[in-house]
Amino acid sequence: MTSRLIFSSLLLSGLLAGCGGSNWVHPNKPSSEFTNEYNRCQNLIMRDPKLQQGSQLLILNATERCLQREGWRLVENE
């Protein structure tokens, strides 16, 4: 349930950020793959006992690092 709450919060933040903020992009994957990659990374992160009881900010940061290791980059909209 916690991961759903976090994902919902991030999705809402992403939608709001899409209004002139930034987007996650990958050089070899379509943007439609982002949600699958995000969910996979978050599931991996939530298996870490240190992060299971951590703050949402720690979980978000760890998830973003996982996405970056997979080749995703956060780029500013022009």
State the Cα–Cα distance between residues 69 and 59, nearest whole angstrom: 15
User: What pLDDT score was predicted for residue 11?
Assistant: 53
User: What pLDDT score was predicted for residue 18?
Assistant: 46
Greater model confidence, 77 or 36: 36
Cβ distance 25 to 17 under 8 Å?
no
Structure tokens at 12: 């809402």
Say whether pLDDT at 13 is over 60: no
CA 9 to chain centre: 11
pTM: 0.69
The per-residue pLDDT for range 20-59, each reduced to its tens digit, is: 689 999 999 999 999 999 999 999 998 888 877 778 888 8
Structure tokens at 55: 């703050």
